Each structure stands twice: as structure tokens, then as C-alpha cells.
């Protein structure tokens, strides 16, 4: 097997692995309901705007 075949095969494997990781992340992102997302964003804003106790 020539070196360029090995490099090409490694490229194909890399693209497939990247696609699998992206698909998994997308499934996790779509698992939230709009209400859950809204509540999480509101809680982040509250935490960011609260002043620390002095």
C-alpha cells in the first residue's frame, strides 16, 4: 500500500469521526424543549447580573 493511500484512508476516517461527534452534539442540543432553554438562559442572566455580597 502506498503512503498516499494511507493518508487518504486516514482522512476519510477523520471525516467520519468528526461527523459522528457533530451529530451527537446536535442530538443533545435538540433534546431540550424551548421552555428549558429559556429558563436556562434566564438563570444565566440572573447569575451574571447579581452583585456579589460585600
Q: What pLDDT score does 35 carry?
A: 92
CA–CA separation, 20 vs 30, rounded Å?
16
pLDDT for residue 15: 92
Q: 40: Cβ–Cβ under 8 A, 6 or more apart, which residues?
A: 32
Residue 28 phi, psi (nearest 5): -65, -40
What is the predicted pLDDT for the residue at 16? 92
pTM over the 0.85 mark = no
CA atoms of 6 and 12, how far apart (whole Å):
10
The CA-to-CA distance between both ends of the chain, in Å, stands at 69
Give the pLDDT of residue 17: 93
pLDDT in tens, 1-54: 688 888 889 999 999 999 999 998 888 888 888 899 899 999 999 999 987 765
Q: What is the largest CA-CA distance in the chain?
A: 69
Amino acid at each position: 500500500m502506498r503512503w498516499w493511500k494511507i493518508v487518504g484512508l486516514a482522512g476519510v476516517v477523520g471525516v467520519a469521526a468528526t461527523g459522528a461527534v457533530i451529530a451527537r452534539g446536535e442530538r443533545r442540543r435538540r433534546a431540550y424543549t424551548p421552555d428549558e432553554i429559556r429558563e436556562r438562559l434566564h438563570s444565566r442572566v440572573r447569575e451574571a447580573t447579581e452583585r456579589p455580597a460585600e
